[in-house]
């Protein structure tokens, strides 16, 4: 494919798909989008760490060939004011794997969030967020080391679909009339109305990805998080479709929590992943009181949005929380925080959210040694009290360093 502004490095090879799996050479081309605000600071720091870890892990046998792609303000400067150039989407599809910094949502009439547009255009239906504790990181929990979960949040459905009718508009009146007169619904006059679609297709593909991840990564359980006691045909249905999918597609690898007690007296047979479910509100409490009982979580869009930020806070907050948005194969890894404009170009913020998103990316392409090495170097850097401002203000006796200084300290410890 030819592009106007994207240049794919000739030295590398594109990732391809064969037998439903990624085929990754020793010299893959990966896309990166710098992002707005603090994006350039954290991207340059994280890239230095990734490249150093790859070089060290494979002794020069493997190398990432980065292709810069453009979204947001940088794109607008290059593509005549276009914040969301179509060729960036084409390039992500062609390269399969990319990583991005945060993007500003320009304020102005009708401008859709670039992040939401990216997820919709590429049908990145699973938002994946691992939440793991690193020794020494400041946490409000008594036993933060018990937190080790991976959240799979459905990204395309739920109240996020934008099917909403504003109070007082003719559209609202039409929908309200239909609901009252034809469906027998009762609700207050002039209520704004939103619709929450949850489908078997959307639910099952998300739960399938969560269970496959649990299998590939030797995880013990997948918990379906829902509010099905109240919203039976959406949230309750998500739960039921999740169990159905596990029974139909993974009968040899999974058992339900009911079966676990009925047939195995609560002792999981070797190699079986337990599928369980919990009501969303109690889940927030359990993740504070008994987080060790949970492993992979599968959620709908809204519950997952709340839960992933709440859990990130348990292990150090947004400066350290990584994430990815995934389709069946195409995956865009991203820092989960925003552009923090007041810190832009100050070389101040924590690059760890993006850096760990890169670790997820290396795991995804099968280069697990890279993330293992970065995890270990991160732990020893923080244990030495070398941290950026966000951690320093919560730790006694820490040495505060800049974004680039943190990358330097980490690279020294690889
Ligand atoms: P934000 O950019 O995430 O910043 C909120 C606060 O979080 C910062 O003021 C800072 O806290 C802390 N923070 C964020 N990144 C950090 C880092 N790397 N290291 C340490 N601390 C960090 O949220 P926002 O101010 O609400 O949003 C700003 C812009 O970002 C908006 O345009 C929004 O649309 C966009 N946004 C983009 C994404 C995305 O691209 N995925 C996500 C969210 C928001 P302190 O002030 O306490 O130091």
3-state secondary structure 161-186: HCCEECCCCHHHHHHHHHHHHHHCCC
pLDDT tens-digit series, residues 271-280 = 999 999 999 9
Residue 108 has pLDDT above 60, yes or no: no
pLDDT exceeds 70 at position 375:
yes
Residue whose CA is at the smallest distance from ligand 1 atom 45: 390
Spacing, Cα 339 to ligand 1 middle (Å): 5
Three-state DSSP class for residue 166: coil
Phi, psi of 184 (to 5 degrees): 70, 20
Say what the pLDDT of residue 111 is. Answer: 64
Per-residue pLDDT at 110: 57
> What per-residue confidence (pLDDT) applies to 85?
95
Which atom, in ligand 1's list, is nearest to the CA of 390?
20
**Paired strand residues for 65:** 29
Give the C-alpha separation, 342 to 339, whole Å. 9
Question: Residue 214: what pLDDT?
Answer: 97
Residue nearest to atom 9 of ligand 1 (CA): 340
Gap from CA of 343 to ligand 1 centroid (Å): 9
Atom of ligand 1 nearest to the CA of 354: 18
- Please tell me what DSSP assigns to residue 255: E
Q: What is the number of other CB atoms lying within 10 angstroms of the CB of residue 412?
A: 13
- Set 160, 165, 343, 389: catalytic member: 160
Cα distance between residue 379 and residue 279, in whole Å: 34
For range 197-207, the mean pLDDT? 98
pTM of the model: 0.93
pLDDT in tens, 125-182: 999 999 999 888 889 999 999 999 999 999 999 998 889 999 999 999 999 999 999 9
Please check the confidence at residue 109 and state whether its pLDDT lies above 80.
no
**Mean per-residue pLDDT, 249-263:** 96
Q: What is the pLDDT of residue 217?
A: 93
Helical spans, DSSP H, in 217-300: 237-249, 257-264, 280-289
Mutation choice for ligand 1 from 318, 332, 335, 401, CB with most ligand atoms inside 8 A: 318
Distance CA 155, CA 125 (A): 5
Q: What is the mean pLDDT of the chain?
A: 95
Instruction: Look at residue 246 and tell me whether its pLDDT is greater than 90.
Output: yes
Q: What distance in angstroms lies between residue 125's CA and the mean position of ligand 1's atoms? A: 23
| Percentage, residues of the chain above pLDDT 70 | 99
Q: What does the pLDDT read at residue 208? A: 98
Pocket of ligand 1 (CB under 6 A): 38, 42, 102-105, 115, 318-319, 334, 337-341, 349-350, 353, 390
Q: Are 71 and 103 in contact (CB under 8 A)?
A: yes
**Which atom in ligand 1 lies closest to the alpha carbon of residue 106?**
32
Best residue among 116, 323, 339, 391 to mutate for probing ligand 1's pocket (most ligand atoms within 8 Å of CB) is 339
């Amino acid at each position: 494919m030819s592009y106007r502004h994207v240049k794919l490095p000739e030295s590398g090879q594109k990732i391809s798909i064969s037998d439903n799996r990624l085929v990754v050479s020793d010299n893959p081309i990966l896309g990166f989008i710098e992002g707005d605000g603090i994006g350039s600071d954290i991207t340059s720091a994280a890239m230095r760490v990734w490249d150093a870890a790859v070089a060290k892990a494979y002794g020069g046998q493997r190398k990432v060939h980065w292709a810069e792609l453009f979204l947001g303000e940088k794109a607008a400067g290059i593509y005549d004011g276009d914040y969301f150039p179509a060729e960036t989407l084409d390039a992500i599809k062609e390269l399969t794997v990319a990583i991005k910094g945060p993007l500003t949502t320009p304020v102005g009439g009708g401008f859709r969030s670039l992040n939401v547009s990216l997820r919709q255009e590429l049908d990145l239906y699973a938002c994946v967020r691992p939440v793991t504790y690193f020794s020494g990181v400041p946490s409000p929990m008594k036993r933060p080391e018990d937190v080790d979960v991976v959240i799979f949040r459905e990204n395309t459905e739920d109240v996020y679909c934008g099917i909403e009718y504003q109070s007082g508009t003719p559209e609202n009146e039409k929908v309200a009339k239909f609901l009252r007169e034809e469906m027998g619904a009762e609700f207050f006059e002039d209520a704004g109305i939103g619709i929450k679609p949850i489908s078997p297709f959307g639910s099952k593909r998300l739960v399938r990805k969560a269970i496959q991840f649990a299998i590939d990564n030797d995880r013990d359980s997948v918990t379906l998080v829902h509010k099905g006691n109240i919203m039976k045909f959406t949230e309750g249905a998500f739960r039921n479709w999740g169990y159905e999918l596990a029974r139909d597609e993974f009968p040899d690898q999974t058992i339900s929590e009911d079966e676990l007690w009925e047939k195995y007296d609560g002792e999981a047979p070797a190699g079986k992943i337990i599928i369980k479910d919990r009501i969303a509100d109690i889940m927030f409490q359990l993740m504070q009181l008994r987080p060790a009982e949970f492993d992979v979580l599968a959620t709908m869009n809204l519950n997952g949005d709340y839960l992933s930020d709440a859990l990130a806070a348990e292990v150090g907050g947004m400066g350290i929380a990584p994430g990815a948005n995934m389709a069946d194969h195409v995956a865009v890894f991203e820092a989960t925080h925003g552009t923090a404009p007041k810190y832009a170009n100050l070389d101040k913020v924590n690059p760890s959210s993006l850096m760990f998103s890169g670790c997820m990316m290396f795991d995804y392409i099968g280069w697990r040694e890279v993330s293992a090495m970065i995890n270990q170097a991160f732990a020893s850097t923080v244990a030495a009290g070398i941290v950026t401002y966000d951690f320093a203000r919560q730790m006694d006796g820490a040495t505060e360093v800049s974004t680039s200084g943190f990358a330097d300290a980490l690279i020294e410890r690889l």
